[in-house]
């Protein structure tokens, strides 16, 4: 049975928070463990945000609960009025993550039938212990650098292989459909993007302009264009003379698929090919027309692919 690191962090945070609260002889010390568990989030930034919401919502709950109980008394109708007022307040102030914690604090006040300094400090200590321990334990996050680097390499290799296969199909007319599938590339893109987003969420105080995230965003956009190129391969029902230059260009793109390779020269070569297509004689047969039309569409998709690549290169400069 595999136990994930987040499960271990949750167990450690809950036990440590409850132990500290019990040693301090706080009432409802188990509540500190619950707060610590809720503070364990997928990323550090989410943990800080949820902890902030929990603290602010709890302070608001104590104040609002005190006023309502003093006016109406410690009766069920007071609880109903509290929910009617408090729930819209948390939504308006964007403190939804603190709602459950606030409800528990309110029940403590209801059971105590009063609010004095000792009770107030007891709730604040529980809150600070739970949040503090949860944040401290959640500071540990395993590095995602290796996963991201592996996904980038795998995606680059698959895109390069795709261009080589398309070039071979253009030159020979034989289509290897298994090599032209993009399902695995799509999966790698999702895993890589998710990992880069998670790493950004763990980078406290850093702007959300992670180069790896921008890379996966670029590849996502290129993925749609690659799908368009693959769809046009089905129309390559015969080999035409114009296909040799297109195949040569696609092999060159495949050889330079790495994201830092300048695409300016390839775009210039592609533009020359498009110009040749415009000036070439009209096709004589329907099959030739369909093949040349498919090649033209593939070049147009490749042009957008290279433009996205060049934009990414320019962003890094």
Distance, first Cα to last Cα, the chain: 47
**Which stretch of 84-88, 136-140, 284-288 has the lowest confidence by average pLDDT?**
284-288
pLDDT (average), residues 156-178? 83
Higher pLDDT, 245 or 30: 30
Does 283 score more than 90 pLDDT? no
Residue 109 is classified by DSSP as H
∠ CA(149), CA(150), CA(152), 5° rounding? 65
> Among the residues of the chain, which ranges form H helices?
5-23, 30-39, 44-72, 76-92, 99-112, 117-138, 145-172, 183-202, 211-233, 243-255, 264-279, 286-316
Contact by Cβ (8 Å): 189, 217: no
* Widest Cα–Cα separation across the chain: 94
Does 243 score more than 90 pLDDT? no
In angstroms, the CA 21 to CA 130 distance is 9
In angstroms, the CA 232 to CA 64 distance is 65
| 153-to-9, 110, 212, 265 alpha-carbon distances in Å | 31, 59, 12, 23
Higher pLDDT, 184 or 239: 184
What does the pLDDT read at residue 317? 63
Does 135 score more than 80 pLDDT? yes
Does 153 score more than 70 pLDDT? yes
What does the pLDDT read at residue 131? 94
- Rounded to 10 degrees, the C-alpha dihedral 152/158/159/163 comes to 160
**Which stretch of 132-141, 206-215, 258-267, 300-309 has the lowest confidence by average pLDDT?**
206-215
Average pLDDT, the chain: 86
Instruction: Report CA torsion sign: 123, 124, 125, 128.
Output: positive
Contact by Cβ (8 Å): 10, 104: no
| 151-to-80, 145, 195 alpha-carbon distances in Å | 52, 10, 10
Which region, left, alpha or beta, applies to residue 94 given φ > 0 means left and ψ of -120 to 50 means alpha?
left
Nearest of 3, 31, 202 to residue 108 by alpha carbon:
31
Higher pLDDT, 32 or 316: 32
What does the pLDDT read at residue 166? 87
Does 152 score more than 90 pLDDT? yes
Instruction: Name the 3-class secondary structure at 240.
Output: coil
**Which stretch of 67-76, 226-235, 284-293, 304-313 has the lowest confidence by average pLDDT?**
284-293
What does the pLDDT read at residue 264? 85
pLDDT (average), residues 255-260? 85
Contacts (Cβ under 8 Å, ≥6 apart) of 313: 259, 260, 261, 262, 263
pLDDT (average), residues 230-237? 77
What does the pLDDT read at residue 269? 86
211-233 and 183-202 helices, crossing angle to 10°: 170
Does 238 score more than 70 pLDDT? no
In angstroms, the CA 105 to CA 124 distance is 10
Does 112 score more than 80 pLDDT? yes
Contact by Cβ (8 Å): 75, 28: no
What does the pLDDT read at residue 180? 66
Does 204 score more than 80 pLDDT? no
What does the pLDDT read at residue 18? 94
Contacts (Cβ under 8 Å, ≥6 apart) of 252: 266, 269
Contact by Cβ (8 Å): 167, 239: no
**Which stretch of 30-34, 68-72, 138-142, 191-195 has the lowest confidence by average pLDDT?**
138-142
**Which stretch of 68-72, 79-83, 155-159, 199-203 has the lowest confidence by average pLDDT?**
199-203
What does the pLDDT read at residue 141? 84
């Amino acid at each position: 049975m595999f136990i994930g690191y987040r499960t271990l962090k949750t167990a450690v945070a809950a036990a440590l928070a409850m132990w500290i609260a019990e040693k301090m002889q706080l009432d409802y010390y188990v509540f500190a463990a619950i707060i610590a568990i809720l503070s364990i989030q997928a990323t550090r930034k989410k943990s800080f945000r949820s902890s902030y919401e929990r603290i602010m919502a709890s302070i608001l709950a104590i104040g609002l609960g005190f006023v309502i109980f003093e006016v109406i008394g410690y009766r069920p109708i007071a609880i109903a009025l509290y929910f009617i007022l408090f729930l819209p307040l948390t939504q308006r102030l964007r403190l939804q993550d603190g709602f459950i914690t606030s409800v528990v604090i309110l029940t403590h006040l209801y059971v105590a039938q009063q609010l004095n300094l000792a009770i107030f400090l007891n709730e604040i200590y529980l809150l600070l212990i739970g949040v503090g321990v949860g944040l401290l334990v959640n500071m540990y996050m395993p590095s995602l650098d290796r996963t991201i680097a592996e996904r980038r390499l795998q995606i680059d290799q698959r895109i390069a292989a795709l261009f080589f296969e398309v070039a071979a199909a253009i030159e020979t007319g034989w289509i290897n459909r298994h090599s032209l599938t993009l399902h695995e590339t799509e999966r790698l893109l999702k895993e890589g993007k998710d990992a880069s987003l998670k790493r950004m969420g763990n980078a406290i105080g850093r702007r959300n302009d992670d180069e790896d995230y921008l890379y996966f965003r670029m590849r996502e956009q290129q993925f749609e264009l690659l799908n368009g190129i693959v769809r046009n391969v089905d129309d390559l029902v015969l080999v035409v003379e114009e296909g040799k230059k297109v195949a040569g260009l696609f092999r060159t793109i495949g050889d330079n698929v790495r994201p830092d390779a300048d695409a300016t020269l390839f775009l210039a070569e592609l533009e020359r090919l498009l110009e040749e297509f415009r000036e070439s004689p009209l096709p004589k047969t329907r099959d030739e027309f369909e093949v040349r039309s498919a090649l033209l569409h593939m070049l147009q998709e490749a042009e957008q692919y290279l433009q996205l690549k060049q934009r990414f290169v320019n962003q890094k400069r």
